[in-house]
Amino acid sequence: MLRVDVQKHRGAFLLDAHFELPTPGVVALFGRSGCGKSTLIHVIAGLLAADNGVVMLDDVALQDTARQLYVPPERRRIGYVFQDARLFPHLSVAANLEYGQKRAAGRRYVSMDTVADLLALGALMARRTHQLSGGEKQRVAIGRALLSQPKLLLLDEPLASLDAARRDEVLPYLELLRDQLSIPMVYVSHSFDEVLRLATDVVLMEAGKVVAQGALSDMSLNKALRSIIGPEAVGAIVDGTVLGRDSESGLTRLKVGHGELKVQAVDAAAGTNLRVQLLARDLIVATQPPQHLSVRNILSGIITAVSNDDAGSDLIAIDIGGVHIMARVTKAATRELSLKAGLPAWALVKSVSLRGHSFAAPHAGTPHASAASVCTAPATSGASPNA
């Protein structure tokens, strides 16, 4: 468990953050620029001392102001990856990695060979840092941090300085680390796409405060998220299991709740976990079983809540078998269909965005099962009385 309950003044800015989340897994600190994410991660690392409060990792106190306890950064066994790689320019890739290895304390659970293999660094070992691309530098920085054998890995917007192509190059390696190692990670980002691909849990921050926290699937339905990502990105994030390939359409069958989606996915073997984002704008609600439609994806469930979205629309939350999804409909449709909690409903999925290129649920102390890469499914058209 990672427990943070701290206050820190920096000029006129006050960080007042409280959260507690399980480890291992990837905790994403998410919010707008300037909300206090980097200040918070510096406090966790010990680079800044909290004015008041407690930082605990697996029942070990790293700071407790009430007891006047403060563990210095070098003794916290925390790996840190910055926005810029901060490699030693006079050293080769191999020597940069060896520096991290020399700083290791306690049990060694990851070797040089493992890091080189996971991050594809073998061919880079003899190079100097000026010969590396931005993505390669960040991979080396991540490897150096891992070789210090940390109990916690902090990544402070590690992709922010990279262009889109370099981000796409590094993201699969971060997914691989998440799925193959059981080391807890805290990932700072203001890119929701990165959070979708990597996070197991999310801490939402606004103006120095934690406004919500929890599993990614729960946070995707949280109202506090809308003000950060905008209304068009609102929707449910769910994790499904591949059932196999549909022989007629060639699409992949994905178990979600008690229903099934047919999606496009590459090399997705049966049993693979895939993360799916169902945007509220892409769902249509029906109160009777739909017939004679071109839409192939229809999920049945029970409406659990109807909430105000904006002046002209509502958000309809639907339980499809222990999994909750959300649809945006007009207020006129809410009235005409008498949509309310407890009413059976069918959600017609116009399109499915498969955002997580891999996903494996974290299990403490054991390697994670790998999951397949995915892509974006094509939209299909359909008619509904509440479109």
CATH number at residue 317: 2.40.50.100
- 110 and 131 co-located in one domain: yes
Q: Which domain holds residue 321?
A: 235-356
Is 70 exceeded by the pLDDT of residue 9? yes
What is the spatial distance between Cα 150 and Cα 179, in angstroms, rounded to a whole number? 17
Q: Which of 7-21, 127-141, 319-333, 358-372 has the lowest mean pLDDT?
A: 358-372
Average pLDDT over residues 376-383: 32
What is the spatial distance between Cα 191 and Cα 194, in angstroms, rounded to a whole number? 6
- 188 and 291 co-located in one domain: no
pLDDT tens-digit profile of 149-207?
Answer: 999 999 999 998 888 888 888 988 898 888 888 889 999 998 888 898 899 999 999 99
What pLDDT is recorded for position 353? Answer: 64
Confidence of residue 263 (pLDDT cuts 50, 70, 90): confident
What is the spatial distance between Cα 67 and Cα 65, in angstroms, rounded to a whole number? 5
Closest CA to 377 of 236, 282, 239: 282
Q: Are 140 and 133 in contact (CB under 8 A)?
A: no
What is the spatial distance between Cα 315 and Cα 309, in angstroms, rounded to a whole number? 6
What is the spatial distance between Cα 375 and Cα 369, in angstroms, rounded to a whole number? 20
Q: Are 363 and 311 in contact (CB under 8 A)?
A: no
Here the CATH number for the domain that contains residue 9 is: 3.40.50.300
Could you tell me if residue 14 is left (phi over 0), alpha (psi between -120 and 50 degrees) or otherwise beta? beta
Average pLDDT over residues 262-290: 87
Closest CA to 195 of 181, 182, 251, 222: 222
What pLDDT is recorded for position 264? Answer: 80
Looking at mean pLDDT, say which of 146-150, 237-241, 290-294 comes out highest. Answer: 146-150
Closest CA to 243 of 280, 217, 269, 220: 269
363 within some domain: no
For 329, the token pair is 């409909």
Closest CA to 242 of 269, 262, 266: 269
- CB burial class (10 A; 0-12, 13-18, 19+) of residue 8? buried
- 19 and 56 co-located in one domain: yes
Name the average pLDDT for the chain.
86
Q: Which of 35-39, 251-255, 374-378 has the lowest mean pLDDT?
A: 374-378
Confidence of residue 115 (pLDDT cuts 50, 70, 90): very high
Supply the pTM of this predicted model.
Answer: 0.81
- 223 and 195 co-located in one domain: yes
